[in-house]
Structure 1
Amino acid sequence: MSPVELRQDSRRVLHGAWNRSRKSTGNRLLFDEKSWTYTYLLADLTSKEAILIDPVLEQAPRDAKLIQELGLKLTYALNTHMHADHITGTGYLKQLLPGTVSVISEASGAKADKHLKDNEVVKFGRFEIKGLSTPGHTNGCMTYLVDEMGIAFTGDTLLIRGCGRTDFQEGDSRTLYKSVHERIFTLPDNYRLFPAHDYKGNMETSVAEEKQYNPRLTKDVDAFVEIMANLNLPYPKMIDKAVPANRECGLYDIPKE
C-alpha cells in the first residue's frame, strides 16, 4: 500500500472506531499527515465546553475553525508530553481562541498555563479528564483518562502493538515498562486506548488487546529492555527544532527566527 493509500485508509478507520461515541460527547479525531499525529477533540454538547489533546502547530487554524463551526468553547489544550516530532499548537490556539488554558505534566519541563500532577483532574462540562503519570518515553509523559467514557489517551507511552522509543529526552525502558504495566494495563480490559501516532492505519486498541498482543510489552522486563536497546531508529528529523520550541509553545506561538 502506498503512503497516499495508507493515509486514505487510515481516515476510513478513524471514522469507524472513534465516531461511535460522537452522538453523546461530540468527540472528533483530527490528523496531521506530516507527523502522523492524532489530535483528539472531546466536547460536552450540553455545556459546549471542549478540550483538545496533542494539537499540532500547523493544524491550529483548522482545529480552531472546526471548534468555532461546532459552536464550542475550547477550555483546555493538553499535551501528553513534550513532543520531538512536531511543534505543539497550544500557544497558537491560545491566540486564535482566547481563554484557552494550556496543560501539560508538571514533570515535562515545558511552559503551560497549568501543570498537572499525577492523578490531577481538569473538567470540561460534566466530564473529567485525569492525568496519569506514565514516564519512560520522556520524564513528563502523561496518559489522559476519561473514566465516564471508558477511554484513555496514551500519547507515545503505549502505541498500538508497540510503544514510544526510549533513546532520547531522558527516556528509560524500565520506567516505560513499569508505567505501562502498572498504570495502563491495570485499567479495565475493555477501556479503549487512543495513541498519539500510528503508522499502519490503525487508530484504536484496548487494554485487553495490548496485554495479549503487544509484541514488546508482553515480554518480561529484561527482554523488553533488550528489544528497546536494539531498535536502531533514525534520529527524529524535527527534534532539534521541536523540543526547544515545545518548551515555550504551551504559552506562546512559535518564536520568530
Structure 2
Amino acid sequence: MIFRQLFEPQSWTYTYLFGCSDTRQAVLLDPVVETVERDLSALQDLGLTLAFSLDTHIHADHITSACRLRSLTGCKVAYPEMDGLPCADIGVSEVNPLKVGSLAFQPLFTPGHTATHHSYLVELPGSLRLFTGDALLIDGCGRTDFQDGDAATLYRSIHEKFFTLPGDTLVFPAHDYHHRHVSTVDQELERNPRLGGGKTLEEFVAIMMELNLPYPEKIDVAVPANKSCGACPEETVKLIEDTPGPSVQG
C-alpha cells in the first residue's frame, strides 16, 4: 500500500492518501477544499489515479473537496450511506465496505461526535490501521455538542468499536492540534485524559459537559456545503478561507 498523511493547517485536518500498488488507484480520506492542488500534485508525483474521495462524516470545520475532486479527476464520491447525500456516488456502511484494488476500507459506525459518523479500519499484513475521524483523537476526542452529538453514545462507540481492537492497532485521527501524527489503541486506553485509565461513562459525560467550547467558527458555512459534498459557491469557499484560526473540535 502507498500511504501519505497530509496536513491542512487552518483547520488542523489530516487528509489520508491511499494507493494500491497493483492498480495504481487511490483514495483520499477527508480531503479539504483548500488543498485540492496539493492533493492532485501528490497523486501525480506518485503515479496514482484517484478512484474515490471518502469522508468520515459531515464536517463542521472545513469544506470537503469531494465534488471538486470529482469534477477535476472523474473520481467517485463515497460517504456513509446513512447520511443519504444525493451528491454521493457510493454509500458505505458496515455491511458495504469500500474496496479499491487490493485495499479494503471497513466502515465502523461510530456515532457520538455526529449522529452518522463512521470510522474506517484498514487491515494490512501484520498490522491494523484505524482512521477514527473526529471520534477519537490523540489524547482526546471530538466534541459532542452539535450535529446531534451525544457524549454517552460517543463513549460507547469508542469502547465497543475501538478499544476492543488489538492494542497495537495504529490510530490515525482526522485532527491534531499539537503536531502529533499517530497513536495506538493501547496508548489511548492508558493515557487519554477523557477516556483512558478506566474512565467510566459517568466520568466521561461529566468531562464533556464541562468543556465549555466556543461555537465552531465555520459550522454555519461548512455543514450546508458538506451536505452537498462541498459543492458550494465560490464566495462560500472564500468565506472559509478568510475565517481566522482553527475551529475547535475539542
After TM superposition, the score normalised by the length of structure 2 is 0.89
Query: In structure 1, what is the equivalent of residue 220 of structure 2?
Result: 240
What displacement does 1:109 show?
4.5
Query: In structure 1, what is the equivalent of residue 69 of structure 2?
Result: 93
Deviations 1:159-209 (A, max 9, x none): 001100000000000100000000011111111010000001111000111
Among candidates 190, 206, 209, match of residue 187 of structure 2? 209
Q: 5 Å matches for 1:92-241?
A: 92-98=68-74, 100-110=75-85, 111-148=87-124, 149-218=127-196, 219-241=199-221
Distance 1:75 1:174 in 2: 36
Query: In structure 2, what is the equivalent of residue 75 of structure 1?
Result: 51
Distance 1:195 1:169 in 2: 19
The answer to whether the 8 A contact 1:54-1:79 is kept is yes
Distance 1:31 1:129 in 2: 21
Distance 1:188 1:245 in 2: 37
Letter in 1 for 2:143: R
Query: In structure 2, what is the equivalent of residue 14 of structure 1?
Result: none
After TM superposition, the score normalised by the length of structure 1 is 0.86
CA RMSD of aligned residues (A): 1.3
Distance 1:34 1:119 in 2: 35
Distance 2:61 2:84 in 1: 17
Cα–Cα, structure 1 residues 180 and 119, in superposed 2: closer, same or farther, change >3 Å?
farther
Distance 2:159 2:96 in 1: 20
Deviations 1:79-101 (A, max 9, x none): 01100000001111001111x11
Calculate percent identity across the aligned residue pairs.
48
**5+ residue gaps in structure 1?**
1-24
The answer to whether the 8 A contact 1:50-1:74 is kept is yes
Structure showing the higher helix proportion among its residues:
1
What displacement does 1:68 show?
2.1
Letter in 1 for 2:218: M
Distance 2:81 2:36 in 1: 24
Deviations 1:5-45 (A, max 9, x none): xxxxxxxxxxxxxxxxxxxx211111111110000001112
| Partner SS, residue 27 of structure 1 | strand
| Partner SS, residue 150 of structure 1 | strand
Distance 1:108 1:166 in 2: 18
What displacement does 1:256 show?
4.5
Structure 1 residue 41 corresponds to structure 2 residue 17? yes
Distance 2:95 2:153 in 1: 18
Distance 2:88 2:69 in 1: 13
Distance 2:151 2:82 in 1: 18
How many residue pairs match? The answer is 230
Letter in 1 for 2:205: V
Distance 1:224 1:109 in 2: 30
The answer to whether the 8 A contact 1:119-1:133 is kept is no
Deviations 1:100-120 (A, max 9, x none): 111111223544111112242
Distance 2:9 2:100 in 1: 28
Structure 1 residue 59 corresponds to structure 2 residue 35? yes
| Partner SS, residue 145 of structure 1 | strand
The answer to whether the 8 A contact 1:152-1:191 is kept is yes
